[in-house]
Chain A
Amino acid sequence: MMNADDGKMDGTTPDESAGGTAPANAARRTLLIGAVATSAVVSIRPALAQTAGSVLNCQIPVPERGKGMFIDPTGKLVTPDTPGAFPPSPRDFTGEEVRQALQGRNLPGTTREQSQAYLNYIRKLQNGQSGFTCYASLQMPRR
């Protein structure tokens, strides 16, 4: 359901060309804002070629910049003096690196335990945090 496939997005010009313009729209429209509705009806995965360019090269910082926090084995952000916690990764990971790590490989430049801690952090990413959209893209079904 989440990948009603692509391919129909080709020709037509964007924006208002399809008759959505409202120049003569003098009457006020009623805008229904149902409390139950969610925004996304469906998200359509990019074609494979684009996947390589966009999803797999997107970046996930571990953790978000500028916080000075370490990451404990469960992926929680903790203060640097916490025993067993790992320092922030010196560089962002790409979507492809994270995808491979989710399949069992270590994140580049990390030990086994460090990689697991970072992955646990990434799994906890939420709306609005850097890297969330990238991580969410990895969850989309592949074909």
Chain B
Amino acid sequence: MAERAYAALPEGALKRVRLGGLEAIYHAPSGITHLLAEPVPDLLDGLDSFGPGEFVTPHRLVARMAERFDIRGDDPAEAPEAVLGERLAELAALGLVRMRVGA
């Protein structure tokens, strides 16, 4: 199965403002603002830490984020990679991250 990889958008594409537990993210290319809840802002930070052009798998991203967070899902049977992979796919659909399939 082709694995999906994700990368942060180029610098300046997103304007992010924290609002307590939420984050308002303005997506400059579309002019749309999204209000997003945890863990999404942290996911974006995690991707950012690789740099804008660097495509990483959910696996690598989870490994990077585990350096800073105790990652806890509400279903122990479900791998964090799978859960965060779904979130990343949603972010890609919104245009907030870039996605690449395969390799």
B56 is an interface residue with CB less than 8 A from chain A: no
Q: How far is the CA of A132 from the CA of B94 in the complex (A)?
A: 9
Is B69 a contact of A127 with CB atoms below 8 Å?
no
1/0 per residue, CB under 8 A from B, across A128-140: the answer is 1000110011001
Q: Which of A11-19, A86-94, A96-104 contacts its partner? A: A11-19
Q: How far is the CA of A39 from the CA of B40 in the complex (A)?
A: 6
Is A15 a contact of B16 with CB atoms below 8 Å?
yes
Chain A interface: which size bin? 35 or more
Interface residues of A in 32-61 (CB under 8 A from B): 32-47, 50-51, 53-55, 58
Is A14 a contact of B78 with CB atoms below 8 Å?
no
Whether A9 contacts B24 in the complex (CB less than 8 A), given A31-B69, A40-B90, A132-B93, comes out as: yes
Minimum CB distance partner of A16 in chain B: B18
Whether A30 contacts B72 in the complex (CB less than 8 A), given A14-B15, A35-B78, A41-B35, comes out as: yes
Minimum CB distance partner of A36 in chain B: B74
Is B32 a contact of A28 with CB atoms below 8 Å?
no
A29 is an interface residue with CB less than 8 A from chain B: yes
Among A12, A31, A35, A140, chain B packs the most CB atoms within 10 A around the CB of A31
Contacts of A58 in B (CB 8 A): 30
A23 is an interface residue with CB less than 8 A from chain B: no
> Considering only CB atoms and an 8 Å cut-off, how many residues of chain B contact the other chain?
44
Contacts of B32 in A (CB 8 A): 43-46, 54, 137, 140
Is A46 a contact of B30 with CB atoms below 8 Å?
yes
Q: How far is the CA of A12 from the CA of B90 in the complex (A)?
A: 27
Whether A9 contacts B33 in the complex (CB less than 8 A), given A29-B69, A31-B70, comes out as: yes
The answer, among A28, A43, A54, for a CB contact under 8 Å with B29, is A54
Is B72 a contact of A18 with CB atoms below 8 Å?
no
Q: Distance in Å from the Cβ of B47 to the closest Cβ of chain A?
A: 13
The answer, among A9, A32, A44, A128, for a CB contact under 8 Å with B99, is A128
Q: With contacts A31-B69, A33-B84 known, what are 14 further pairs, Cβ within 8 A?
A: A12-B17, A15-B15, A30-B70, A31-B42, A31-B72, A32-B39, A33-B73, A34-B74, A38-B87, A39-B87, A43-B33, A44-B32, A46-B33, A136-B93
